[in-house]
Chains A and B, each alone.
Chain A
C-alpha cells in the first residue's frame, strides 16, 4: 500500500512518468496487431458461432411422460433429457423445460436429419414413451432479425449522440473522435476473443457487449475530463508541450484507472470463474466473458489509444504547434533535457 500510494504520488507530481503519449507508435502497432488477430482468428475458425436464439434450431417435445419427477428446482427429467441429447451431439447445448404436467420440451442447435431421428429414439427410450409421442420440429430464432436490426439502429444513434454530447461537453470534436476510435478498438477485440475461442454468441453475450460499449466510453470520459482540465487551464503559459500535458493527465489518473479496472473486473471475474468452472457453459459465462475482456480492454484503450490519438489530433493545431516549437527551441538551447 505504501509503495502503491507513493507510486500514485509520483505519478501525480510527474516525478515518475510513463510516456503513454510519446510512445504511441508502439501502442498503435500493438492495437493494429490485436485488431488483425481479432479479425483473422475468427475467420480462420470459420466465423462466429451464433446460438440457437439467433439461428433457430431443433425442438423435441416428449408428450405423455408418466411419472415426471417435478420435485426440486430443476427436475431430474430436465437433466435426463439434456444428457440424452448431448450423448448424440455434444455441441447441441440443449435447453430443457417441462411443459404442462407431462411433457418435456428440448430445444437444441439445429441437428442433422439423422441426428434428429436418433434424438427422437433416444428420448423415447429415456422417458419410456412410444416414439410417436416424441415430436420433432424446427424452432425459429427467438432473437430475430428485427431485434438485431433495432439494436443496431439504437447503437448507431447512441454513438452519434454520445459523440455530439462529448463534443459539446469538451468543446472539441477531436475528443469525440478519439473516444469513438478507442470504442471501436474495444468492440473489435472483445468480439474477436469470442470468435477466436469459438464461444457461442448468445443474447447474454450481446448484452455483455452493450455493457462494454457504455463502460468503454465512460472510462474515456473520466480520463478525458482530467486531460481537458490540464490542457485548458494553462494553455499557452504551460511549461509543458500539449502532449506533455496530456501525458501528465493520463499519469495522474492512472491510479484511478487501475483501481476502477480492478474493482470492475473483480465481480465479473467471480462470475466468470463460477460460470465457467462450477456451472459449465451458460448464461453467466457468456455474459461475464464479454464483460471481463471488455473491462480490461476498455481501461487499457483509454490510456493507450484514446489519449495518444487525441494528443496527435491536436498537436498540429497552429497555436499548440507554436507553443511546442517554442518549448522545443528553448530546450535545445539548453542542450536538451
Chain B
C-alpha cells in the first residue's frame, strides 16, 4: 500500500466533514431566513423566563376539592403531553390545595394551551337525533358535511313523547319531551362557557359539533356512552389512507383500544351498521371530546380490530395534539386557565456568563495540558474540539428550532463536561499510535495500525454512552430527556469528529517531515517513546498492516529474565513462539 492512499482517504473524509457542516449551516440558515429559527439556541426557563400558566379545576356545584392523587395524576399527564411536543424543560407543580402551575419557556400558542388544559375525556356515543345548528349554518347551503358522505337526515318519525323504557343506546325513547325541549333551546355558542355539555355517562347528551373555524355546525342528541376513552391503549396521528392504501390528504387520529374497548366497539358498530346510512341518522356514531363532538361518521362496517380512525376538521397540528392527549389519557379533572402571565428568569445572564467563563477556563486548561502531554499533537486535540464545538452548536440551534430544545444552565454544564468525553477519544487514539511507535513502526504505519485498534475501543465505549442517552430519552420524562438529548448528541458528534477530522488530520500530518521524522516537539518522537531501546533493526520496515498482535508481541519481548526463563522451562520459547505468531499474522 502506498502512502498516497491514506492521504487521498484523508482528503475525502475532510471533504465529507465540510459537506456535513455546510448542510447543517444551510438548514439553520434556511430556518432563520424562512422560518422562526434563530442563530442562537433558545434558552430554558431558568435562564430566559417564560410563561406561567395557573390551572384551576373546573368544579361542579357541591363538588369538593380534588384529591391529592387526582392532582398528581393530572400533573403527570400534563407533563407527558408537554414532553410529547418537544424537549422544552417545562416545570409543572401543584400549588396550594387544588391548582396546577405550568411554567414553560417562551410564549405558548393556542395549540400549546389546548394541549395543556384540555382534559381530553373521550367518549363514543351513538347519534339519536341531529339537525344543522342554528348559529353557524343558518342560510349557508354550502355547510360542509362533517365526514364523507354523512348527510344529516333527521329522522322524521322521532317520537317526542317518550313513554317506553329505552332498550339500547340508540333507542329514540331516550328523547323525552323535556330533553327535546332542551335540545330545541340549546345554543351551541354557550358550549364553551357553561357546563351545559356535561352529562353522566349513562344519560343522553345534547351537544354540537365544532368545525375548524371554531363555529358549531351541527346539533345532536346523543345516546349514553357506549365506549369510553379509558379503554384506549394507544393513539397516534397521521394522514388517513383510503382502502387502496393511498393517502387521502386528510389528517386523522388513529386509536387502538384495549380488549374491553375492542369488544364494546365491535358490538356497537354491529348494531349501528344495521341502520341505513342514507336515511337514518342513528347509523352515525359520535366521537365526543370534552363534551364536544369532533365528528360523527356513518358506520359503514363492523369494526372488530379495535383500531378506528377519527377524521374530522383536523390539520396536522391539531391531529397530533389530540393523538398525544389521548395517548397519555384523559385528565381526571377539567381545568380552566386561571392566569397566564410572563415570568422572568430565576438565574439570569450572570449565571450563564459565569458558566461560559468557567467553560472557557476549562477549555484553556485542557489545551495547556494537551500541549504539555502531546506537544504539537495537542493542537490536533484543540482543533478537533473546536470543530466538535461548531457542529454541536449548529445541531443545538437546529434542535432548538425543530424540537423545541432549550438550553438550561445544567445543559450548558453538560456541554462543558462533554469536552472531557470528546477529548478522551483523541487520547485513546494518540496513546494507541504511541504504542505502535514503541513497537518500532514508522509513523504512517503506526497511525493506520493505531487507528484500527483505537476505533474499535472508541466504538465500544461510545456505544455505551449512546445507549444510556437513547434509553433515558425514550423512558424518562421531564428534565432528564433534555440531558439525554445533549449526551446523545455530543456522543454522535464525537465519533463523527474522530473519524472525519482527527484521523484524517493525523494521516496528513504523518506524511509531513516534521512528524514522520519524529521531531521532539511533534509529540510522536520515537526516541522519547523508547522505541530505540528495543533495537529497531529487529523490525521490518514500517508496513501498513492490520497488526493484531502488536501489544502481545511487545509484552512477550519485554518480559523479565525470570519470566523468560519460566516460559522456556514450560516449553514455550517465548521469543520464538511470539515472533512466529506475529509474523504469521502480519504476512
What residues on B are CB-neighbors of A237 within 8 Å?
572, 577-578, 581
B372 within 8 A of A: yes
What residues on B are CB-neighbors of A115 within 8 Å?
none
Are A327 and B551 within 8 A (Cβ)? no
**Binary contact track A5-18/B, C-beta < 8 Å → 1, others 0:** 11011101111000
What residues on B are CB-neighbors of A2 within 8 Å?
528
**Binary contact track A134-151/B, C-beta < 8 Å → 1, others 0:** 000111111111110011
Stretch at the interface among A40-48, A189-197, A282-290, A311-319: A282-290
Whether A207 touches B564, Cβ cut-off 8 Å, given contacts A151-B480, A256-B428, A259-B427, is no
Say what secondary structure dominates the interface of chain A: helix
A84 within 8 A of B: no
Are B373 and A4 within 8 A (Cβ)? yes
Q: Which of A180-204 contact B (CB under 8 A)?
A: 203-204
A to B contact number (C-beta, < 8 Å): 344
Complex formed: what's the CA distance from A165 to B350 in Å? Answer: 43
**Binary contact track A250-288/B, C-beta < 8 Å → 1, others 0:** 001101100110111111111101110011001110011
Complex formed: what's the CA distance from A15 to B559 in Å? Answer: 8
What residues on A are CB-neighbors of B3 within 8 Å?
none
What residues on B are CB-neighbors of A158 within 8 Å?
467-468, 471-472
Task: Pick the contact of B354: A74, A262, A284 (CB < 8 A).
Answer: A284
- Chain B: which residue is nearest A248 at the CB level? B555
Task: Give min CB distance, A278 to chain B, whole Å.
Answer: 6
A88 within 8 A of B: no
Complex formed: what's the CA distance from A248 to B413 in Å? Answer: 36
What residues on A are CB-neighbors of B541 within 8 Å?
none
B530 within 8 A of A: yes
Whether A260 touches B460, Cβ cut-off 8 Å, given contacts A99-B342, A207-B414, is no
Complex formed: what's the CA distance from A139 to B528 in Å? Answer: 63
**Binary contact track B27-45/A, C-beta < 8 Å → 1, others 0:** 0000000000000000000
B562 within 8 A of A: yes
What residues on A are CB-neighbors of B581 within 8 Å?
237
What residues on A are CB-neighbors of B346 within 8 Å?
78, 95-97
Are B438 and A256 within 8 A (Cβ)? no
B370 within 8 A of A: yes
Are B416 and A267 within 8 A (Cβ)? yes
**Binary contact track B498-540/A, C-beta < 8 Å → 1, others 0:** 0000000000000000000000000000001110010000000
B162 within 8 A of A: no
Complex formed: what's the CA distance from A237 to B469 in Å? Answer: 41
Whether A13 touches B554, Cβ cut-off 8 Å, given contacts A255-B431, A260-B424, is yes
What residues on B are CB-neighbors of A59 within 8 Å?
95
Task: Pick the contact of A239: B375, B424, B476, B574 (CB < 8 A).
Answer: B574
Stretch at the interface among A19-27, A29-37, A119-127, A213-221: A213-221
B570 within 8 A of A: yes
B357 within 8 A of A: yes
B475 within 8 A of A: yes
Complex formed: what's the CA distance from A74 to B48 in Å? Answer: 10
Q: Which of B547-587 contact A (CB under 8 A)?
A: 548-549, 551-552, 554-556, 558-560, 562-567, 569-570, 572, 574, 577-578, 581
Are A14 and B555 within 8 A (Cβ)? yes
Complex formed: what's the CA distance from A262 to B564 in Å? Answer: 36
What residues on A are CB-neighbors of B572 within 8 Å?
237, 239
Task: Pick the contact of A252: B363, B435, B469 (CB < 8 A).
Answer: B435
A174 within 8 A of B: no
B465 within 8 A of A: yes
Task: Pick the contact of A284: B344, B355, B456, B569 (CB < 8 A).
Answer: B355
What residues on B are CB-neighbors of A142 within 8 Å?
91-93
- Chain A: which residue is nearest B585 at the CB level? A233
Q: Which of B390-444 contact A (CB under 8 A)?
A: 408-410, 413-414, 416-417, 419-421, 423-424, 427-428, 431, 434-435, 438
Q: A230-B552, A263-B369 are in contact. List 9 more A-B contacts (CB 8 A).
A: A139-B95, A147-B479, A169-B463, A203-B410, A230-B551, A267-B361, A267-B420, A274-B355, A336-B562
The chain A residues found within 8 Å of chain B, CB to CB, are 1-2, 4-6, 8-10, 12-15, 56, 59, 70, 73-75, 78, 95-101, 103, 105, 137-147, 150-151, 153-155, 157-158, 161-162, 165-166, 169, 203-204, 206-208, 210-211, 213-215, 217-219, 221-222, 225-226, 229-230, 233-234, 237-240, 245, 248, 252-253, 255-256, 259-260, 262-271, 273-275, 278-279, 282-284, 287-288, 291, 295, 326-327, 330-331, 333-334, 336-337
Interface pairs (10), CB distance under 8 Å: A59-B95, A138-B95, A146-B75, A154-B474, A256-B427, A268-B362, A284-B358, A284-B413, A330-B566, A330-B567
The chain B residues found within 8 Å of chain A, CB to CB, are 46, 49, 52, 71-72, 75-76, 79, 91-96, 101, 341-351, 354-355, 357-359, 361-363, 365-366, 369-370, 372-373, 375, 408-410, 413-414, 416-417, 419-421, 423-424, 427-428, 431, 434-435, 438, 453, 456-457, 460-465, 467-469, 471-472, 474-480, 483, 487, 528-530, 533, 548-549, 551-552, 554-556, 558-560, 562-567, 569-570, 572, 574, 577-578, 581
